[in-house]
Homo-oligomer: A and B are copies of this chain.
Amino acid sequence: MRATWFPLTLVMLTIMTIAPQFPADEGMWLFNNPPRKLLKEKYGFDPTPDWLEHVQKSSVRFNSGGSGSFVSPDGLVMTNHHVGLDTLEKLSSKGKDYVKLGFFAKERKDEVPAVDLELNVLMEIVDVTDRVKAAVKPDMSMKNAFEARRSVIADIEKESLDKTGLRSNVVTLYQGAVYNLYRLKRYTDVRLVFAPEQQSAFFGGDPDNFAYPRYDFDICLFRVYENGKPLKAEHYLKWSQSGAAKDELVFVSGHPGNTDRIDTVAELKYLRDSAYPYLLERLYRLEVMLGIYSAYGKENERRAKDKLFSVANSRKAREGGLAGLQDPVMMSQKEAKERAFKEAIARKPSLKAALAAFDTIAKVQEVRAEIRKEYTMLEEAGGFYTFLFGYARTLVRAADEFPKPNDKRLEEYQESKKKSLELGLFSTQPIYDDFEQYKLAYALSWLEQTFGGDSKGVQGILNGKSPNERAAELIAGTKLKDVSYRKKLYEGGKEAIDASDDPMILLAKFVDKRSRAVREIKQTQVDEPRRQAYDEIAKAKFALEGTNTYPDATFTLRLAFGTVKGYEEGGKHIPFETTFAGLYERSADHEDVYPFDLPKRWVDHKDNLDLKVPFNFVCTADIIGGNSGSPVINQKAEVVGLIFDGNIQSLVLDFVYTDVQARAVAVHSHGIIEALRKVYDANELADEMVGK
């Protein structure tokens, strides 16, 4: 299952690729710099501005981490089951398990409002590179440079918000060479329409995750409402009559989360030897921990299911990425390219600054490695694994930040992000005390393991208790479970926070000083020098190779393209598509035992189905985590499929594109309609999608 771009994912900036040619179907292209020349030369297809605008505005970003698209004039949004999973879990409760049993609103009045879901549609892109760069003077200290950049970005975003009312984010592209202002329409009245049983969406479980052939109905349908009525969508994708066909040119419009294709070798080695191993250690720990909790009974299992899925999914994705980094063939290719690039730079005196930039980036990695554990534990709150600490921190920091001028605040407290912050803070998601306590106890123990029991910080956090006792005390004592209490503290500002004796608030206050200090180190000794260094390298790169290229992924809208085709593996041809017949065969091959068991509905309705209908298929489009739920469309911008995964060979796409075996995996549009009609009796919904 292609990873949604979820918080555990490594978030880091990167630089442009050194490969000047894209002989293959490479690229996560910007909508304001699409690969028109390439498409024309290779496929004879030229996307018009209208085509691009239509696709752009039909595309939806799930702010929780994932992609989607409008697929009807009435605001119907299609995404993956595993993108909707978070919402499905939040809408479930003991005895009402939408994850396990699925959900289908037969009529619009039955559609269920999501708890805290925000969808974004990209309306406009404005280049603001010159203004951002002008704010940072060459003689500034790193601290001043960081703050000047943050300040000008805050101003741009605030001005745009005031002017347009749209969510306005400045996006750093090409690792700092280009800054674009993205204006996004926010939708927060989003209602659940349809989800299959998870066992159908995630048939084959962990063994089949990131694998192919596949047989998964990984779909979830929401509807966007505006003013209490279904949105009349100006742009939505029509449904293809025929669906994805062999060797067809297709496009994927979605939000790839993060790639590291253009990292220097020093940075890749940091990822290989430090960042990935540490992240994996964390994921192994969480996977065991959540598995143990789940084993205690069905209700526990239900509560932990979406978290366990996310963790296991990330673990498998990161293992695949690490396998790429640990492959000496890939690494020596990267080294050879870097060498050649440096030699080219050395020949042009005007580009010399870029050579020193490589050294800066190497040095930055040492700082990163040094602060990694503290940053993860404190600033990313790895040592406090409970929603309730997150609420406490947001409240404590909001009280400190909001009184400051907008352009002096930490990014997430700036005006342009305020509405999204409040959506999260006032979420009515269910909170289970025992689960929160269990997670927090585990995290506190890990925190103590990390820094040692004699650390003053750890002792302050634990307050003379064992991790278990401290977690019990914190969860039992905090009133932050109550949304109205959170609202009261939020509205009460600094005074209310100072007066609060809520134990979780007190903890967040205690942690904040050191946490902010580590963040400051990261900003001034990692982020800013790194951004400046990559900017130098980018300039050299543009000078040598031109600007007809794409930046590394940043969880913003991109256009990928590719061909529907199978591949060779172990001397065998893997066909591009699977069918419903294959689903039943694979289940039978594994004696219908978990994770290869089928929901009862699929067993009962087997005879209804045309077993020859295509179910899943692959194409060569360049995707990565965050693309989950992206529509696959044809040249007429009609839906032919729904991205939900990449095969195991595609996990190296974090670092380098290849189309030898790497493939994007999608649900076939024909299979979607067939299953909706024949398995779920959802004919009206299917009619809405095909435009009948």
Contact = CB atoms under 8 A, between A and B. Distances in A.
Interface of A: 205-207, 269, 272-273, 276-277, 280-281, 284-285, 287-288, 291-292, 295-298, 315, 322-323, 325-329, 331, 445, 448-450, 452-454, 462, 464-468, 590-591, 593, 595
Nearest to A286: B284
5 contacts: A205-B295, A269-B453, A273-B454, A281-B285, A323-B468
A326 B467 contact: yes
Report the 8 A-B pairs with minimum CB-CB distance, sorted nearest first. A277-B449, A273-B452, A284-B284, A327-B466, A284-B288, A207-B296, A284-B285, A207-B295
A450 B331 CA distance: 18
B464 A273 contact: no
Contacts of A326: 445, 448, 453, 466-467
A569 to B, nearest CB: 15
Contacts of A291: 291
Given A281-B281, A326-B445, 15 more contacts: A207-B292, A269-B452, A269-B454, A272-B452, A272-B453, A273-B448, A273-B452, A276-B449, A288-B288, A295-B595, A298-B593, A322-B449, A326-B448, A327-B466, A329-B466
Max chain B Cβ within 10 angstroms of own Cβ: one of A205, A296, A464, A595: A296
Query: Number of copies of this chain in the oligomer?
Result: 2
A453 B284 contact: no
Contacts of A206: 292, 295
A36 B269 CA distance: 63
Contacts of A298: 591, 593
Contacts of A329: 466
Max chain B Cβ within 10 angstroms of own Cβ: one of A328, A449, A462: A449
A684 to B, nearest CB: 36
Contacts of A292: 206-207
A684 B15 CA distance: 76
Contacts of A467: 323, 326
Given A207-B296, A295-B205, A295-B595, A453 B331 contact: yes
A635 B464 CA distance: 44
A297 B449 contact: no
Contacts of A280: 449
A89 to B, nearest CB: 20
Nearest to A294: B207
A464 B328 contact: yes
A590 B328 contact: no
A220 to B, nearest CB: 24
A465 B323 CA distance: 11
Contacts of A452: 269, 272-273
Contact of A590 (B297, B448, B595): B297
Contacts of A284: 281, 284-285, 287-288
